[in-house]
Chain A
Amino acid sequence: MGDMDRSVLTSQGFRPNRRQFLIGAAGVLGAGALMSSCGGSSSLSFGARTVDDGPTRQLKGLISAYEAASGNTVVYNATESNAFQNNLSQYLQGTPDDCFQWMAGYRMQFFAEQGLLTDISDVWDEIGDQFNDSYKIASTGLDGKQYFVPQSWYPWGLHFRKSMLAELGIDPDGIYNWDDFMGMLDGMKSKGLIGFAAGDKGGWEAMGTFDILNARINGYQYHVDLMAGREQWTDARTREVFTYWEQLVPYMNDNVLDLEWDGAMQLLLQRKAGAMLMGSWFGGNFLEQSQEDYDDLWIIPFPEINPEHARDTIDAPIDGFCVAANGENSDGGKDLIKFAGSKEGMQAMLDTGEPMTSANKNQDTSSYDAFQKQQLAVMEEAKYITQFLDRDTRPDFAGPVVGPAIQQWFRDPSSVDGILESLQEQWDALPPL
């Protein structure tokens, strides 16, 4: 604690003026207010949007490395991710932590537009050369300034067990295009397996399948334009996506709408299903089950459909950090975020031993395991990165409109035209931002 903090304490204790008396009268609140008013240049707060063991260890590793490097003290506040996300708007308007964990792309831009995030372009001037351009684009607000520093990412790809494919006599490297893929699914089905495990109870899981099919069939630009409302949901090209999707339905488990994503994962874990399209984050779950299961897990890019676009796009949501505009110590927040994005900061997180794929291009990847290296390979094949449907389009459209529409499609795939018309109508009816 610095001198400033001590002086606050003394004035509180010995010469209470009227305002401070009011605070004191508020009892418990007073204690909280006192603690949090310890601003100053030497103390700042960090808001984590996770309470999970692994990520918490990772972030605490970062924070203690920062404290050691800078001499500042950091108060670590953690909130469970759903609660944090649902309450973010209030959090940022009220009394936010100086630096907090968030996501890149549209979800960051949305809050930047409202003036709730601090412009950190000057931080990017210093550490920008450590990131690839695609990361900088994902960190940039609509006004062209940077508001975000990437921490890590995970690719969405086709996951399977190496041992199962070997038993079926399929070579994963041989699955390049749609025909290879359908051949693989047929092979699995003939063995009585579920080919393509899927769950969409949460409403968001299947969005990944839509993203990748659309990008493979119509290309990156079309997908981005559709997400931004510059293309129509009723377009024949959007319709085409569902034609391909429908070909996958016979290979899926028949309770898609009853399973959340982890239900689908269990099918893969229990060797009841051959493959699944999912973000690689769930590797941690396999690792928790056993090292053997984790070593068996593999990922390849979703197969090519339209040779024009090959396999050039991937959904790879980027997680990272922002600095709140209403924080008490924005300069401290900036200092922390700069450290977090640097190679040393990333290394501190990797040193905790928790699996993470660093966004920093200078990172030493020698400590990555085989599955992580394969994730890097999958990522490197892609030229364009998308963030996932619910991060790429308006939040009031993705969750409440697209999610239920896809669920409805699963109930009755023949109703696709009506569903697409309704999607377009609902997009058109959205209020301007």
Chain B
Amino acid sequence: MTATISRRYRGRQRVKDRFISIFIGIFALVWIFPIVWTLWSSLRPYSEIRANGVFSVPESIGLDNYSTAIQRMDLPTYLWNSLIITAPAVFLTLLFGSVTAFVVSRYSFRWNVSMLLLFTAGNLLPPQLVFIPVFKAYLTVGDWLGNRRLFYDSQWGVVLIHVAFQMGFATFVLSSYMKTIPKEISEAAKVDGASVFRHYWNVMLPLLRPPLASLAVLMTTWIYNDFFWALVLMSNDSKRPITSALGRLQGEFVTDYNLLAAGAMIAALPTLVVFFILRRQFVSGLTLGATKG
């Protein structure tokens, strides 16, 4: 009797598993297809596509597009630009985000919930809506201080706006995580006479490593992939990040999509590297905040 039940149960489970596998498989294909297609395109010359069409049988396959792309994109300059925008922006976002989260979650005062709400709400505004005021403010403040390019047309201005925009999300995630850390730890620190700064720096910050790591990956990806702010807040293209260099592969009238595909593959590499370095923390960081221990 029990044997038949468990056999029937096992059979049903197997069908279910198979169904789920097929389902996941289909989705995996849907996700992988564009990447594989980009990779495939990047290996073929445009002249062949132009003459024979996209679905033609390839006559030649090679890495020519990659070498052309690296040269046309002026890769070292633009990668460097991306680095000096992304690295400080991520660092400052995490620093300020963790400080704010620490205060709103560890100290109770009248406005701490509304403050948290304010930070999160700021994140909901689309950049397209606020870029004109930001742009005007950058110019005005720059004019006051006697240098129009103090914020506008400068990489620091772009760093600043990224910090402002991403801080809300960082604060939100970090404060939710901090609420799961037992209050007793904080109380013990206070009893031992830790100052507010020591409490933050030596007690809380080490405990925040997993969410900080996962946020670092997310922030790096978002800021690195940004094109909009760099476009509207800078006027000189040679200061813009790598997303703008991709545009250099695009002609005014003709777009060599195969070359562009190669460029996209190159531009995507650094985010992948960051992801693989922080991968373990990324996954554990995502789940750690989810359950209250």
- Interface residues, chain A, with chain B CB atoms under 8 Å away: 19, 22-23, 26-29, 32-33, 36-37, 49-52, 55, 77-83, 86-87, 90-91, 93-97, 261-262, 266, 269-270, 281-282, 284-285, 288-289
CB neighbors of A among B44-103 (8 A): 47, 50-53, 84
Residue of A nearest to B131 (CB): A90
Bound CA span A347–B94, Å: 56
- Residues on the A chain within 8 Å of B152, using CB: 94-95
Q: Which residues of B contact A270 (CB under 8 A)?
A: 51-53
> What residues of A have a CB within 8 angstroms of the CB of B50 in the complex?
262, 266, 269, 285, 289
Is residue B254 contacting chain A, with contact meaning CB distance below 8 A? Answer: yes
| Nearest 6 A/B pairs, CB to CB | A29-B154, A80-B247, A81-B252, A79-B237, A33-B149, A51-B248
* Complex contacts, A96 vs chain B, CB 8 Å: 235
B236 proximity list for chain A (CB < 8 A): 32, 36, 77, 95
| Distance between Cα atoms of A5 and B125 in the complex (Å) | 43
Task: Kindly state whether residue B106 has any CB partner on chain A within 8 Å.
Answer: no
- Are A29 and B155 in contact, with the CB atoms below 8 A? yes
With both beta carbons as reference points, the residue of chain B lying nearest to A23 in the complex is identified as B147
Chain A residues with Cβ under 8 A from B248's Cβ? Answer: 51, 80
Q: Does A22 lie within 8 Å of B235, measured CB to CB?
A: no
Interface of A is mostly: helix
> Chain A: which residue is nearest B146 at the CB level?
A19
Measured CA separation A398–B156 after assembly (Å): 36
Given A22-B150, A91-B235, A95-B149, output 17 extra A-B contacts at Cβ < 8 Å: A19-B145, A26-B156, A28-B154, A29-B155, A29-B156, A36-B149, A49-B252, A77-B236, A78-B237, A80-B248, A80-B250, A83-B244, A95-B235, A269-B51, A270-B52, A282-B253, A285-B50
Measured CA separation A36–B154 after assembly (Å): 11
| Bound complex: CA A26 to CA B146 (Å) | 14
Q: Sample 15 A-B pairs with CB under 8 A, ordered by A number.
A: A22-B150, A23-B150, A26-B156, A33-B154, A36-B153, A37-B147, A77-B236, A79-B237, A90-B232, A94-B139, A95-B153, A95-B236, A262-B50, A270-B53, A285-B50
B219 nearest CB across to chain A (Å):
20
Min distance, Cβ A138 to any Cβ of chain B, angstroms: 20
Q: Which residue from chain A places its CB closest to the CB of B156 in the assembled complex?
A: A29
Interface size class of B (residues with CB under 8 A): 35 or more
Q: What's the Cα separation between A284 and B235 when bound, in Å?
A: 29
* B residues in contact (CB < 8 Å) with A: 47, 50-53, 84, 135, 139, 145-150, 152-157, 231-233, 235-239, 244, 247-248, 250-255
Residue of A whose beta carbon sits closest to that of B139: A94
Knowing A82-B250, A95-B152, A289-B50, the reply to whether A33 touches B147 (Cβ < 8 A) is yes
Chain A residue at minimum C-beta to C-beta distance from B247: A80
Contact A93–B53 (Cβ < 8 Å): no
Find the residue from A79, A288, A289 having the highest chain B CB count within 10 A. Answer: A79
User: In the complex, what residues of B have CB within 8 A of residue A36's CB?
Assistant: 149, 153, 236
A90/B53 in contact, CB under 8 A: no
State the CA gap A24–B80 with chains docked (Å).
20
A289 and B47: CB pair below 8 A?
yes
In the complex, what's the smallest C-beta–C-beta distance from B79 to chain A, in angstroms?
A: 15
With both beta carbons as reference points, the residue of chain B lying nearest to A55 in the complex is identified as B252
Please indicate the chain B residues that have their CB under 8 angstroms from the CB of A90 in the complex.
135, 232-233, 235
Known: A83-B231, A83-B237. A29 touches B251 (CB 8 A): no
Distance from A213 Cβ to chain B, minimum over Cβ atoms (Å): 23
Inter-chain contact A94/B135, CB cutoff 8 Å:
yes
Query: Is B237 touching A32 in the complex (CB atoms < 8 A)?
Result: no
Return the contact of B156 from the options A27, A87, A94, A97 (Cβ within 8 A). Answer: A27
Which B residue sits closest to A51, measured CB to CB? B248
